[in-house]
Amino acid sequence: MGISLTFGVNSLWQKREEKKRTKEMLILVRNELVSNKNHFKFHEKEMKKDGYIYKMILDAKNDLTAIPKDTLELYYTRTMNIRIVPISTSAWQILQNSEMIQKMTNKELVIRLTDCYTAMNAWYEFITNDYWNVKKKMIFLDEGDAFKFFVTILKNAEFRNFCYMFRVDQESMWMAFFGIDAVIDYSLLLLDKHGDYRYDMDENDNELQKFANEKYDREFLKKDTINNNLIE
């Protein structure tokens, strides 16, 4: 009986420690999600500032003289700005490569987090490859003159199409940011709602769509019309 009791106590202690370590690891994952959410917000803000400029330049078409010189210089300085903030996946990678994830009793949470990180990586790759790489190409056109720079942009089919795609009134472009924000928020909601980091998916996957729709109604429809504050 003594031996059985000892093994029983040890087993309970080990399970308790495993649960404690898993919870601590998921708290790190949660913090990582919050950090990445802020990074995506930063990228959205920076890209919208550029998007406002693209809209003004494209609307001016070949009559850039209609834009005041000092404003054009401001647009030029803004367009030359490039700053990429990398997202972090280290906490999630550690969890993925550990035995903890294999012992998590709720596999649905693992699936949700996996989908979230997959979406974040895909969107970040899009930002760095499809957006910032083209902006880097723009820098090579720099002649030190704002007017000449934007004339060259308008004459170049690749850059003109790029500007059109990312102009700030292309709502479908910015809905993608809203989508990734909803995915991260939903993952955070699940983690915060269940202190032991366990939940059921019996209510089916419509919960994510419902959450995203409600988030859209609360936030996205409240946006102001585009104005010069975007480049301040």
- Amino acid 86: pLDDT: 92
- Amino acid 82: pLDDT: 82
Residues 62, 68, 70, 75: is their CA dihedral positive or negative?
Answer: negative
Distances (CA, A) of 39 to 63, 147, 167, 171, 204: 36, 32, 21, 20, 30
Mean pLDDT by 10 residues, the chain (232 residues): 53 60 84 94 92 92 86 90 89 88 73 91 92 88 83 91 90 86 88 56 58 73 52 49
For residue 18, count other CB atoms closer than 10 A to its CB: 14
Up-side HSE of residue 192: CA atoms within 13 Å toward CB? 10
- Token pair 């495993």 is found at 18
Distances (CA, A) of 4 to 14, 16, 18: 15, 18, 21
Q: What is the number of domains present in the chain?
A: 1
- Amino acid 16: pLDDT: 62
- Amino acid 225: pLDDT: 46
How far does Cα 144 stand from its chain's mean position?
Answer: 33
Token digits of residue 158: 């690749």
DSSP characters over 58-124: HHHTT-GGGS-HHHHHHHHHHHT---------HHHHHHHTSHHHHH-S-HHHHHHHHHHHHHHHHHH
Expressed as residue numbers, the domain containing 94 is: 2-231
User: What's the predicted TM-score (pTM) here?
Assistant: 0.77
- Amino acid 102: pLDDT: 73
Token digits of residue 196: 């032991």
- Amino acid 201: pLDDT: 42
- Amino acid 204: pLDDT: 45
Measured between alpha carbons, how far is 128 from 85 in angstroms, rounded to an integer? 10
- Amino acid 73: pLDDT: 92
